Amino acid sequence: MTVSNGALGGWPARRAAISPGRTALVWQGERVTYGELHARVGRVAGRLREAGVGVGDRVAYLGGNHPAFVETMFAAHRLGAVFVPLNFRLTAPEIDYMLGHSGASVLVFGPSCAGVVRELSTAVALFELSDLAVDNGPPVDECVAVALDDAAFILYTSGTTGRPKGAVLTHGNVVWNCFNLLVGVDVGSDEVGLIGAPLFHVAALNQCLLPTFLKGGASVIMPRWDVEEALELIASQRVTWMFGVSAMFAALARSPRWASTDLSSVRSVMSGGAAVPPALITAYQGRGLTFCQGYGLTETAPGATFLEARESPAHVGSAGVPVFFADVRCVRAELSDTEAGEPGEVLVRGANVTPGYWNDPEATAAAFTDDGWFRSGDVAVVDDGGHFHIVDRLKDMYVSGGENVYPAEVEAALFEHPAVAEAAVVGVPDEKWGEVGRAFLVAASGHEVDPVELREFLGERLARYKLPVYFDVVDDLPRTGSNKVRKAPLRSRPLNPETRNETPAGP
């Protein structure tokens, strides 16, 4: 069999040649070996090829965590195609936009997403999971050789102007990110990783599943995040490490079973996506667990900084130092380096950094400095020891249950309602989800704003986690001299519990 030059399409064949009988995936108690996975990837690739998928074509996936996600991803890469994992929480109009923007020719979907798929208007070939790996045709055993600079993924991130952007990650971006992760974490061939976060998230995919795959370990895939099931799997499968956002780890620590569950197999846990409260880190340290925190973005594949296990106790709350094969700076507005303790924007440069956004040259140009540094839009301070501490965002994005939410997108949807004349959305702290949305609304003349009806209106247009939890009706919004809304005063206003509505869906 022909395999490629280290690009992702050849990974199943290489792993099957090295360790065919070793467990690759665990799914609801069933084990899939690397040899079996390699064969299944070949069958899926055969189905995709029959559908006309070839080099450079885009293959989209819509569904919860499942072995088919892994199989479809590797099958697409075996054919030289680009994999486009989609957020299964999104509505049909949101999915339609991403399918059309990416130019996907095939959509593989799970049964739980069948309702959304029926509402789609974009013309794509459809494959439901149960029909995907049917053994009724010749498998594809040969892997198309692609360059490491070729696109492997398009990962959609919420856009500050209301439209999501498709961040391109090349095969090389992912490979170098795995190298960075393996330098920072002692991943072993006996590793058992728990995949509880959604695999369409770059961190669950590139910080946990793929490094584990590279080393020949096993990945225990949860169909969805469930605290009690996670604790059960940690004990029964002897899980050694896992990635999660702070809301997931906080939920584990709040469980009545937290103190009694056997966690002796766990070597370390990793978190990213939002700042982790120091009290949560110490709660894990109190159970003898090493809590490693990192920082990154979809566009950096995602690791940019990392705090290694040995350094974790001495630097609680730090996002660590730059990963081994990347450079990270903290700069002022004119791009000069900040002093220790001085806030500045985080810039990243390295082989793990995206080449840009799919079919969006303007956004790509805006994301990089003239000398090639990626502008994160995040604010950090660097201490005297070179450790990064992420403190704020230049953009207005907030993180709810590990999901990025951009207010401009929510505001655009609010403006569609006839009762809303003006709207401003900010993120506010929330004990359970980290942050949730708070909408300040000015009613249109002759109308009254009904928050319950407004949430139902938004629910038809936006994923549930994007829906604001608080709705405050105000007479006007604070503005600058240039008539822009000033959000800082809105964030500082005390919360009114009477304006709280249903909480959004979690991770």
Question: Where in 307-383 does DSSP place strands (E)?
Answer: 321-322, 326-331, 344-350, 356-357, 374-382
Question: What angle (nearest 5°) sits at the alpha carbon of residue 12, between those of residues 204 and 215?
Answer: 60
CB 108 within 8 A of CB 61: yes
Q: Where are the beta strands (DSSP E) in 87-135?
A: 106-109, 125-128
Domain's final residue, options 395, 424, 445? 395
355 and 302 in a single domain? The answer is: yes
Same domain for 61 and 127, yes or no, is yes
Number of structural domains in the chain: 3
Q: How far is CA 378 from CA 168, 426, 476, in A?
A: 20, 16, 29
Do 235 and 384 lie in one domain? The reply is: yes
Greater pLDDT, 61 or 391:
61
Where residue 392 falls among pLDDT bands split at 50, 70, 90?
low
Q: Pick the residue with more confidence: 442 or 161?
A: 442
> How does pLDDT run across 12-22, given as a tens digit for each residue?
999 999 999 99
254 band by pLDDT with thresholds 50, 70 and 90: confident
Closest alpha carbon to 377 in 479, 300, 489: 300
- Condensed to tens digits (0 to 9), the pLDDT of residues 81-109 reads 999 999 998 999 999 999 999 999 999 99
Question: 222-249, pLDDT tens digit by residue?
Answer: 999 999 999 999 999 999 999 988 778 8
Same domain, 370 and 406: no
Q: Say if 336 falls within a structural domain.
A: yes
Instruction: State pLDDT tens for residues 430-482.
Output: 888 899 999 999 898 888 999 889 999 999 999 999 999 999 999 998 875 43
Asked if residue 165 belongs to a domain, the reply is no
Name the pLDDT band for 1 (thresholds 50, 70, 90). Answer: very low
8-to-32, 211, 308, 363 alpha-carbon distances in Å: 19, 12, 26, 27
Q: What angle do CA 60, 66, 70 make, to 5 degrees?
A: 60
Query: What CATH number does the domain containing 382 carry?
Result: 3.40.50.12780
Q: What is the domain extent for residue 288?
A: 171-395
Q: Give the SS3 label for residue 327.
A: strand
The answer to whether residue 166 sits within a structural domain is no
- Calculate the average pLDDT of the chain: 90
Among 252, 257, 323, CA closest to 281: 252
Is the pLDDT at 214 greater than 50, yes or no? yes
CA 25 to chain centre: 20
Which strand (E) or helix (H) includes residue 242? strand 241-244
pLDDT tens string 4-57: 568 999 999 999 999 999 999 999 999 999 999 999 999 999 999 999 999 999
Do 361 and 464 belong to one domain?
A: no
If asked whether residues 407 and 302 sit together in one domain, one would say no
Q: Is residue 437 part of a domain?
A: yes
Last residue of one domain, picked from the residues 345, 368, 395: 395
Q: Which residues contact residue 431 at a Cβ distance below 8 angstroms, ignoring those fewer than 6 apart?
A: none
Query: In the prediction, which pLDDT does 76 show?
Result: 98
29 lies in some domain:
yes
Give the model confidence (pLDDT) of 324-353 as tens digits: 999 999 999 999 999 999 989 999 999 999
Q: Which of 162-171, 206-215, 262-271, 473-482 has the lowest mean pLDDT?
A: 473-482
Q: Are residues 182 and 319 in the same domain?
A: yes
Same domain, 175 and 275: yes
Q: Do 92 and 214 have their domain in common?
A: no
